[in-house]
Structure 1
Amino acid sequence: MADEQWGAAVRLLWGPEPSAKPARGPKRGLTLDAIALTGIGIADAEGLGAVSMQRVAGELGVTKMALYRYVPGKAELVALMVEGALPVPVPVPVPVSVPVSAVPVAEGAWRERLGEWARELYAGFRGHPWLLEATVGVRVMGPRELGWMERALSALDGCGLSGAEAMDAVVLVAGHVRGIAEQERAAGGPAGGGAGPDAQLAVMLGEVMRVRGEEFPALGAALASVAEHGGHDGALEFGLERILDGLGLLVARRVGGGRS
């Protein structure tokens, strides 16, 4: 059943590129890269909902049936697009065999590497907002996407975390990044060129707080502080630093020999 459900996507993402070519006409055979880039271009401009086999085939100047000779359906097409949109992950610049006793790794390097990974993931979501929609649920992941997971887990090597704890830490960081990117996508900024969600919320609440502010003194004080001292749309860094702070406490216990 697993092979029937995921086999086509696995072969496209991990296996050799199909050699089939259109049977008629002067056009040379397509490549999976060209197909993926065409879908990415459509999704970047109009969203994932605008991507279809018919639309991609039309952009490539072939029939939909010809496209099916390379990609069996939209799910596999989106999988190719995700793989094509992700940059090649840069390996962590340290050996993965760093022992748990390597205190310098536990005290700082892991945090810098995982933080950099999170910021690059955020940049990827900003560059291709449709990735937020395309990378949910149980699905086949390609070499680049698994490479990103490998890079994040490798950043935590030498910290004394169990495999489950390291996986959960990566999921926690990625979830925070996704949440902020989702809010910005819904608000149309900053990727969309407008103000971020925090700034938009302050504007929206301005009139309400002017009239009914006495009913919400804590909120009013917070908004007044933001207006005076700045700090709009810093949720990504604030949340990321607090997550890393918490992981730092756990890492310190593990390196120190504790398991609690």
Structure 2
Amino acid sequence: MADGQWGAAVRLLWGPPVTPARGPRRGLTLEQIAVAGVGIADAEGLGGVSMQRVAGQLSVTKMALYRYVPGKAELVALMVEAALPDPAGGLDAALAGAGSGWRGGLGVWARELLAGYRAHPWLLDATVGARALGPREVGWLERALAALEGCGLSGAEAMDVVVLVTGHVRGIAEQERAMGGSGGVDEELGAVLAEVVRERGEAYPAVAAALGSVAGHGGQGQGQGLEFGLQRIFDGVGLLVERRGMA
């Protein structure tokens, strides 16, 4: 496997099972180590994870843990792989029920991705920047790109579409995490703005009018921000697909 900056993580994610070079032959598995890290991160966030904490969870010394995982960066890579649902399971089943068409498939993919961020909010911190990707994460990318096959987009354009959709999903997930829960961002933000408008509405007439419209329609509803953004992204991509004559 690859050497260099991410070589160790790539070998752990893609290589054969690790056997410690020193110490007893029978011991931990990478899955056990990753699951212990995920448990800590779920409870305390990524900042609570350390080699020492994970070793303590597994009732081994930190030095014993280093025989399997060389450092925290590699540990986090294993945790991401363990936390992401196997795309060959629920994601593929959801995609199979999406029917034909790239919009339906990519929409299902985006909603399943948001569910993953909601289940493990620390993934938002762990999946940024250049890093080693594991089989499951690459499998998720494969499904998204496969949904766009036959649209007439170049590979680079399809990748950009996936990045755009992922960015929107991450933005919603970040807002939900900041608000302390899932699905209630629109309502909580609306409540905050409503208080401002009540006191200073004359200074913000456009905001007041928008909030009045929302109230008149019974509120935006859970998930409205996600769906509205997805459909506008898809509308834009659809124009490009039509230009290529592939709609």
Q: TM-score, normalised by structure 2?
A: 0.90
Bigger Rg over Cα = 1
Partner of 1:97: none
Aligned 8 A contact 2:41 2:122 in 1: yes
State the Cα RMSD in Å: 2.1
Mapped to 2, the partners of 1:67 and 1:211 lie a distance apart of 57
Count of residues paired in the alignment: 237
Match of 1:199 among 187, 191, 216: 187
**Residue in 2 that maps onto 1:49:** 47
Q: Which amino acid aligns with 1:17?
A: P
Counterpart of 1:18, as a letter, is: V
For residue 32 of structure 2, what is the aligned residue in structure 1? Answer: 34
Unmatched 5+ stretches in structure 1: 94-107
1:155-175 Cα shifts (integer Å, max 9, x gaps) = 111111011111101100111
Displacement after TM superposition at 1:206 (Å): 2.6
Contact kept? 2:151, 2:246, Cα under 8 Å: no
Residue 4 of structure 1 deviates from its aligned partner by 2.9
Which of 177, 182, 202 is the aligned partner of 1:185? Answer: 177
Structure 1 residue 92: deviation in Å?
6.3
Identity over the aligned pairs, expressed in percent? Answer: 69
8 A Cα contact 1:92 1:154, kept in partner: no
Does 2:16 correspond to 1:16?
yes
Paired residues for 1:1-260 under 5 Å: 3-20=3-20, 23=23, 28-90=26-88, 109-190=101-182, 196-229=184-217, 230-233=219-222, 234-255=224-245
The equivalent of 1:102 in structure 2 is none
Where structure 2 has 5 or more consecutive residues not aligned to the other structure, the ranges are 94-99
Query: Normalization by structure 1: what TM-score?
Result: 0.85
CA contact (8 A) 1:43 1:130 kept: yes
Give 2:128's aligned amino acid.
Answer: V
CA shift, 1:21, in A, is 7.6
